[in-house]
């Protein structure tokens, strides 16, 4: 009810704003805000927004932080052609998040290059706690660029998945964070 009320208030306030103003319903839904849970909430809040903003562009995204891997679960209301699906892609994660203190200890290693491999192997920080992170650094240090986890191989499949989904459903997709 709060989600609906907030959006109803925002929609009413900006009803006469220029068409260049767009709404994004929720940035990076995650945890309990799964794609399946958000689908009916999105449908209802869009219905309410359309009362005062019938042609306003609305961005909305799937769960798991707007992950392309969640697209198959996303259901958009029929007949609304001014919805844009927003996705985020942070891969290769240990390149984009290196040194991110809020994600320590697995992101503590710095000096990760794009694309890999580095000319000189990079020793991961000794505080890494997950074995798959050590595996990632092992692959980063030894795999050729075309297969390296710190290269385009890390995100091309996600971009292709988004492209395929967009073409299948005739819906635009926007990578808002990349």
CA distance 73 to 69: 9
| Per-residue pLDDT tens over the stretch 29-52 | 999 999 999 999 999 999 999 999
pLDDT at position 178: 85
What pTM value is reported for the model? 0.90
pLDDT(116) > 90 = yes
Label residues 14-51 b or e (16+ Cβ within 10 Å = b). Answer: eeeeeeeeebebbebbeeeeebeebbebbeebbeebbe
Exposure string (b/e) for 149-178, b if CB count within 10 Å is 16 or more?
bbbebbbeebbebbeebbeeeebebbbbee
Task: For residue range 133-171, list pLDDT tens digits in order.
Answer: 999 999 999 999 999 999 999 999 999 999 999 999 999
- Residues noted as catalytic: 28
């Amino acid at each position: 009810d709060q989600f609906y009320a907030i959006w109803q208030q925002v929609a009413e306030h900006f009803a006469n704003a220029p068409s260049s103003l767009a709404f994004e319903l929720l940035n990076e839904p995650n945890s309990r805000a799964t794609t399946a849970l958000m689908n009916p909430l999105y449908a209802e809040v869009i219905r309410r927004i359309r009362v005062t903003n019938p042609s306003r562009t609305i961005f909305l995204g799937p769960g798991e932080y707007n992950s392309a891997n969640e697209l198959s679960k996303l259901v958009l209301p029929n007949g609304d052609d001014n919805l844009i699906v927003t996705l985020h892609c942070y891969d290769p994660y240990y390149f984009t998040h290196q040194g991110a203190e809020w994600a320590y200890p697995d992101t503590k290693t710095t000096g990760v290059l794009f694309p890999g491999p580095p000319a000189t192997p990079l020793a991961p920080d000794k505080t890494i706690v997950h074995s798959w992170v050590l595996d990632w650094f092992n692959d980063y240090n030894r795999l050729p660029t075309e297969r390296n986890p710190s290269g385009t191989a890390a995100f091309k499949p996600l971009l292709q998945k988004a492209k395929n989904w967009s073409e299948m459903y005739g819906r635009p997709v926007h990578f808002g964070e990349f």
